[in-house]
Each structure stands twice: as structure tokens, then as C-alpha cells.
């Protein structure tokens, strides 16, 4: 018996590895990863190759429990209160509207048309109502990981994006609580028990005990996270703690049924999400916890989605496909109405009115996790229920991210680096002087994601570049500079004579306020002090090489990093404009561990930063780390 289980487990691992590779092929043709994993599971299941026979699925149920624990941990880890505070009113109203309008409207319409759903038509009225309610609850579930992926891809930031992310996270927490209530009601109704006062008392008791156990789990999770041990060992510890929640819940359920004649049902998903919420908001371990989950989740999701696909019947999927399409349309309609109500109730900008539903279409882990629970609890109709939901999720995965991207573009909160120099919100560098050094500088800045322009006062005929603009200006005057739109420049570099450099820098200082003005000094002493007095950064070519060699001798690693010689590392100065960051300490920010704050400048003064340094709007911080992480942190700090 044990030998057959080991063979089954090894076979499933092989199928999962194959699923990962197949899913990558799906990604190349712009289809979601989850679709490839589910299709791999279907192919390996009893409908086709029978590598994972349907009778063997209960033996692998422990993998589902492991995955559900990590899914709940991940949802709770996104619920970081300090990052939701600036849009709390909009998040509140949008969450309430999405939760109740979607659930109530979907439940009512599905119940009314339940006679057209094969597995519902012969059910008693009360069971049809409870099934419709379970559909409505799962329709609200969202995918935080998908939302984060779109936001990072679009470099999105602004009130619409912050509200969308906040609602996504809060909804998943509330959905799990609401699901626990509805599942208890479903069990009671199907067992022909009354929904009376005793049911209410035991339901409240179940929820309170789940909350308390969640806090205990959060405290327990601190133990492996606080130890200075290998990350792999910590990850295994997190997995075991998550799985132990399911074992403990089942133990309490069986024992209380024998001892007091009524089963105390702890909801493991709720327990795990509360434990994760506790770690994220009330301990110093949240950054490491999130990073561990990021490392664990891909493997867990491969296992979970492949196993979900293996449990599907292709024949059932074909039979319910058109029902899934109809339910998908119903979900979109209810979310559209909820979005309008949420915007009006929160008194948000009217331009968000008809796009406010778009960020909430995509579904993934939480929704699939809840359907898996239903399939296991109610095998008579649960698998047909699960098949419909999975079909809807696949459609949502295909359409949802695209809709979210469109809504971000309409809200004008995307900060992608387009090639057009007219795009507002990118890093513009204006270089005065056309010569070999200015061209080399423009090329280097272009490679680093900037949009450089070279301004010259001489003839530019025959001097063009596909990578940046070369613009002829008539003279150094305020009128000419206004035509050049210098107000939007992030940095200005002057490579002309000292007299011309000073004239440019002084005009910029008095009329445009560009923070970073860099001047190549040519040796005219009468202009040196003047340039210093207006805050210009001066580079003296006669001393630059000596200073560079000096730093290479005394600090070769730091010098290599700052010069960009390490291709995987980067350093960048960021001005804090995000109002949510104002007043937070450095230790409160969820920076990746491969990013450090090298310096902090406030009102021209360099501060020695530490974990308890509070950041302010307008502070300038220098970040050093891997390019990807530095870029993500930069967009977090900028509004």
C-alpha cells in the first residue's frame, strides 16, 4: 500500500514538472500560466492518459491542503494596513458594493435560472438557493498576485490603482469569512437541520475560535522566521505549520462530534489568513515572510493547478461550457453595477465610473481553493460546480489582465517608458551641447531607461539619431527655453563654455526649478562660485580622473557599483512623492532584501538613516540593489 502511494506521488511530481514546461509554452503564446497547468492536469487525468486515475485523487488531497494554506498565507500577506490608509474611504465603499451587489444579484439570478443548470434542476429549492449563494460568494474572489503582476508591468501608481489593489486584498479576506459562513449554512441545510438560534451560536463560536487560532498560528510562525537558519528550512517550517492547521481542524472536528455531539468546525483558510495578517501587520518578520512565500508559491501553484486539472472530467466540462459563459457574463454585469455604486458612494472621480469594475475580473488561487473545498464537501454535485467555476476562471484569466491594463491606461496611471518624448511621467534629460561626449552620454542614459534630448545652438543639418532628439535652439533665453519645455525635465546637463553654462543654469534656477543641473566646469574662476551658489553640481574634468582612481583604490566595490560596471546592480536617486509613504519609518516599508537605502537628503541636509528614520514627502533617497528590485521600489516611492 505504501509502495503504491510512493509510486503515485512520484508519478504526480513528474507530471507537475512536465506541466511547468507546458505552461511556459502557453505563456509564449500570451496565455496564462494557470491555463497550461490545468490543461496538463486534464491530459494526465482519467479523461485522457490516466496517469493520475480519479480513484487516486483522494490520496493526494494532502497536497491540496498544503496549497490552500499557502494561498491563504499569500492573501493575508498582501493585507498590509499601512499601505491602504490613503484610499480607505474608496476601498471601503468599493469593497462593500462589490461584495454585496455581486453576491446578492448573482445568487438571485442563478437561483431563478437554476432549472437550466443540469446538476441543479432536480435539487430541492433550498439546496438550489444555497448552491446559488456559493456561486455568488466565489464570484467575488479575486487574484492579488495577478493584480500585482499587472501593476508592476504597467508601472501603475495613482488613486485608481491604489483603490483597486486595496479592494482586491480586502475582498479576498472577507470572501473567505463569508465563505466559511455560507459553507456552514450549506452543510446544515443539506443535512436537513434547522437554521435556528443554536446554528447561529455555533457559527459564531466557530468563527471566534478560528480567529483566535489564527492569531496563535501567527505567533507560531514567528518562531522559524526569527531563527537565523537556512531559508529552505524556514520554508519547510512554514509549509508544515500551514498543513498542521488542516490536521488540527480535522482533529477538533472529529473529537468534538464525539464528545459534545456537535462538530466544532474551524475554517483552515480563515485561520491561515488571520495568521498571515498578524505576521504582516504586527511583527518585524513580514518582509522575510513575503519573500519565503514568493519562493514557495510557484512550486505550490504548479502542484495545485495540475491536481485541479486532473480532477476535471472533459465530458462534464463540455456539457457546462455554455453555462460557464453565461455565468461569466452574469459576473461581469453584477461587477459593473457594483463598480458604479462604489464610485458614487465613495464620491470618487467620475472618470472612474465605467472602468471601476475592470480591475476585479481576474481570478486564481483563492477562487480555485474554495471550489476545491466544495467539491470535497459535496461530491454529489460539487465536481460539476467546480468544473463550471474552473471554466469561468480560465476565461477570467484570459480577459481579466487585459481589462485591468485598459482601465489603468484610461485612468492615466501607467508610467511605462514609451519612446515618445511627449509622454509625461518619464525621466527626461536635457543635454546642452552637441559633441562626442554629449552623444555618448545620451546613448548611456537611453540604455538606462531615460529619454535624452540634445540641445544645440549650431546647425543640426545631417546630425540626427534614431535613439534621441537633437534640437536646434535659437539662443539662451527664457522664451526659447519655454518652447523647449524645460519645465518637465528631470535633469539638465551643460557641456558648453562656462559663461554659457552659467547663463543656462541661472535661467533654469530662476524659472524652471529643475532639481538636478550638472555642469562641466572649464576653468573660468569667476563662474565657479556663481554656479555653486545656485546649487549646480559641478564636474571638473581636470580632477575627475584623479578622484575616480582614488575611489577605485580606496573602495573598488562601491565605485564599480556606482559606475554601473556590475551589470546586474544599479543605483538611483528617488524623490518621495507617494503620500502613503509620508511619516512611515524605513523599517515599516516592505523593501526587498536586495535593496538598501544608501543616503537620505532632506531640505539639502544629508541624514544618517536607520530603521526608525521617518520619511517625508520631498525626501530624496539613494537606492542601491538589483536593477529589477530598485525599479520596483522606485515606483513604490514615487506617486
Distance separating alpha carbons of residues 340 and 362, to the nearest angstrom: 19
Q: Who has greater pLDDT, 171 or 196?
A: 171
In a shared domain, residues 171 and 231: yes
Cα within 13 Å of Cα(72), Cβ side: 33
- Does any domain span residue 40? no
> Hey, which bits of 416-522 come out as E strands?
428-432, 451-456, 469-472, 491-494, 516-520
Residue 530 is predicted with a pLDDT of: 79
Confidence of residue 216 (pLDDT cuts 50, 70, 90): very high
Domain CATH number, residue 612: 3.30.70.1450
Per-residue cell: 57: 485523487
Distance separating alpha carbons of residues 602 and 600, to the nearest angstrom: 7
Residues 6 or more apart whose CB falls under 8 angstroms from that of 578 comprise: 157, 636, 637, 638, 639
Distances, alpha carbon 34 to alpha carbons 80, 405, 483, 582, 623, in Å: 26, 19, 51, 38, 35
In a shared domain, residues 405 and 437: no
Residue 422 is predicted with a pLDDT of: 40
- Does any domain span residue 113? yes
Residue 417 is predicted with a pLDDT of: 41
In a shared domain, residues 175 and 75: yes
Percent of the chain with pLDDT over 70: 90
8 A C-beta contact, residue 442 and residue 462: no
In a shared domain, residues 88 and 163: yes
In a shared domain, residues 510 and 580: no
In a shared domain, residues 522 and 571: no
**Is 122 a residue whose pLDDT tops 50?**
yes
Q: What is the largest distance, in Å, between two alpha-carbon atoms of the chain?
A: 95
Residues 6 or more apart whose CB falls under 8 angstroms from that of 111 comprise: 128, 129, 132
What phi and psi values does residue 196 have, to the nearest 5 degrees? -105, -165
Domain CATH number, residue 185: 1.20.1530
- Cα distance between the two ends of the chain: 59
Least Cα distance to 574 among 490, 514, 493, 494 occurs for 490
What phi and psi values does residue 596 have, to the nearest 5 degrees? -125, 155
Confidence of residue 24 (pLDDT cuts 50, 70, 90): confident
In a shared domain, residues 406 and 434: no
8 A C-beta contact, residue 335 and residue 407: no
Cα within 13 Å of Cα(412), Cβ side: 5
Confidence of residue 108 (pLDDT cuts 50, 70, 90): very high
Confidence of residue 107 (pLDDT cuts 50, 70, 90): very high
Confidence of residue 507 (pLDDT cuts 50, 70, 90): confident
Distance separating alpha carbons of residues 242 and 224, to the nearest angstrom: 13
Residue 559 is predicted with a pLDDT of: 65
| 525-552 residue pLDDT tens | 888 877 887 778 888 887 777 877 776 7
| 279-322 residue pLDDT tens | 888 888 877 888 888 888 778 878 877 877 777 777 777 878 88
How many Cβ atoms from other residues are within 10 Å of residue 340's Cβ? 17
Confidence of residue 105 (pLDDT cuts 50, 70, 90): very high
Residue 592's domain comprises 567-637
In a shared domain, residues 233 and 308: yes
In a shared domain, residues 219 and 358: yes
Residue 424 is predicted with a pLDDT of: 47
**Is 553 a residue whose pLDDT tops 70?**
yes
**Is 415 a residue whose pLDDT tops 60?**
no
Task: State the sign of the Cα–Cα–Cα–Cα dihedral 524, 529, 531, 536.
Answer: positive
**Is 384 a residue whose pLDDT tops 80?**
yes
Cell 538636478, located at residue: 516
**Is 44 a residue whose pLDDT tops 60?**
yes
- Does any domain span residue 355? yes
Q: How many domains does the chain have?
A: 3
| 566-618 residue pLDDT tens | 667 777 778 888 877 888 887 777 777 778 787 788 876 777 777 778 888 88
- Does any domain span residue 502? yes
Among the ranges given (65-69, 357-361, 399-403, 603-607), the one the predictor scored with the smallest mean pLDDT: 603-607
b/e per residue 295-334 (b: at least 16 CB within 10 A): ebbeebbbbbbbbbbbbbbeebbeebeebbebbbebbbeb
Mean pLDDT of the residues in the chain: 80
Amino acid at each position: 500500500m505504501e509502495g503504491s502511494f510512493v509510486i503515485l506521488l512520484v508519478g504526480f511530481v513528474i507530471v507537475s514538472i512536465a506541466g511547468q514546461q507546458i505552461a511556459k509554452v502557453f505563456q509564449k503564446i500570451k496565455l496564462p500560466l494557470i491555463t497550461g497547468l490545468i490543461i496538463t492536469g486534464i491530459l494526465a487525468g482519467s479523461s485522457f492518459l490516466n496517469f493520475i486515475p480519479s480513484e487516486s485523487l483522494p490520496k493526494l488531497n494532502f497536497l491540496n491542503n498544503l496549497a490552500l494554506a499557502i494561498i491563504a498565507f499569500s492573501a493575508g500577506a498582501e493585507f498590509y494596513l499601512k499601505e491602504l490608509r490613503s484610499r480607505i474611504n474608496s476601498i471601503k465603499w468599493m469593497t462593500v458594493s462589490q461584495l454585496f451587489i455581486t453576491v446578492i444579484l448573482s445568487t438571485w439570478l442563478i437561483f431563478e435560472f437554476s432549472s437550466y443548470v443540469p446538476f441543479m434542476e432536480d435539487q430541492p429549492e433550498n439546496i438550489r438557493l444555497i448552491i446559488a449563494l456559493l456561486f455568488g460568494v466565489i464570484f467575488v474572489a479575486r487574484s492579488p498576485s495577478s493584480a500585482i503582476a499587472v501593476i508592476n508591468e504597467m508601472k501603475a501608481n495613482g488613486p485608481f490603482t491604489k483603490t483597486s489593489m486595496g479592494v482586491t486584498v480586502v475582498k479576498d479576506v472577507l470572501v473567505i469569512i463569508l465563505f466559511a459562513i455560507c459553507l456552514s449554512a450549506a452543510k446544515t441545510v443539506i443535512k436537513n437541520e434547522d437554521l435556528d438560534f443554536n446554528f447561529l451560536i455555533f457559527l459564531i463560536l466557530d468563527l471566534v475560535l478560528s480567529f483566535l487560532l489564527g492569531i496563535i498560528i501567527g505567533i507560531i510562525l514567528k518562531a522559524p522566521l526569527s531563527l537565523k537558519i537556512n531559508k529552505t528550512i524556514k520554508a519547510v517550517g512554514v509549509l508544515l505549520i500551514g498543513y498542521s492547521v488542516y490536521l488540527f481542524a480535522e482533529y477538533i472536528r472529529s473529537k468534538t462530534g464525539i464528545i459534545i455531539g456537535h462538530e466544532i468546525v474551524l475554517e483552515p483558510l480563515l485561520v491561515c489568513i488571520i495568521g498571515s495578517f498578524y505576521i504582516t501587520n504586527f511583527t518585524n518578520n513580514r518582509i522575510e515572510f513575503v519573500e519565503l512565500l514568493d519562493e514557495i508559491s510557484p512550486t505550490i501553484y504548479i502542484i495545485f493547478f495540475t491536481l485541479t486539472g486532473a480532477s476535471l472530467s472533459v465530458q462534464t466540462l463540455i456539457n457546462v461550457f455554455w453555462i460557464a459563459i453565461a455565468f461569466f457574463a452574469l459576473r461581469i454585469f453584477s461587477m459593473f453595477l457594483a463598480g458604479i455604486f462604489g464610485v458614487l458612494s465613495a464620491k470618487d472621480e467620475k472618470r472612474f465610473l465605467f472602468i471601476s469594475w475592470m480591475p476585479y475580473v481576474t481570478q486564481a488561487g483563492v477562487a480555485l481553493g474554495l471550489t476545491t473545498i466544495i467539491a470535497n464537501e459535496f461530491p454529489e454535485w460539487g465536481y460539476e460546480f467546480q468544473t463550471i467555476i474552473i471554466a469561468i476562471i480560465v476565461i477570467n484569466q484570459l480577459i481579466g489582465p487585459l481589462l485591468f491594463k485598459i482601465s489603468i491606461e484610461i485612468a492615466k496611471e501607467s508610467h511605462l517608458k514609451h519612446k515618445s518624448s511627449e509622454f509625461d511621467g518619464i525621466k527626461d534629460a536635457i543635454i546642452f551641447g552637441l559633441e562626442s561626449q554629449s552623444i555618448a552620454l545620451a546613448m548611456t542614459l537611453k540604455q538606462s531607461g531615460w529619454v535624452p534630448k540634445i540641445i544645440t545652438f549650431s546647425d543640426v543639418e545631417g546630425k540626427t539619431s534614431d535613439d534621441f532628439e537633437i534640437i536646434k535652439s535659437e539662443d539662451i533665453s527664457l522664451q526659447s527655453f519655454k518652447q523647449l519645455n524645460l519645465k518637465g525635465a528631470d535633469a539638465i546637463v551643460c557641456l558648453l563654455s562656462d559663461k554659457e553654462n552659467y547663463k543656462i543654469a541661472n535661467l533654469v534656477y530662476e524659472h524652471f526649478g529643475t532639481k538636478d543641473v550638472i555642469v562641466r566646469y572649464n576653468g573660468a574662476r569667476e563662474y565657479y562660485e556663481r554656479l555653486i551658489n545656485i546649487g549646480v553640481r559641478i564636474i571638473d574634468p581636470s580632477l575627475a580622473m584623479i578622484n575616480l582612481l582614488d575611489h577605485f583604490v580606496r573602495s573598488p566595490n562601491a565605485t564599480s557599483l556606482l559606475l554601473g560596471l556590475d551589470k546586474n546592480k544599479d543605483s538611483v536617486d528617488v524623490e518621495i512623492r507617494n503620500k502613503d509613504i509620508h511619516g512611515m519609518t524605513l523599517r515599516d516599508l516592505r523593501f526587498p532584501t536586495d535593496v538598501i537605502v544608501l543616503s537620505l537628503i532632506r531640505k539639502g541636509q544629508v541624514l544618517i538613516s536607520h530603521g526608525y528614520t521617518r520619511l517625508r514627502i520631498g525626501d530624496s533617497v539613494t537606492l542601491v540593489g538589483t536593477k529589477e528590485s530598485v525599479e520596483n521600489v522606485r515606483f513604490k516611492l514615487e506617486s
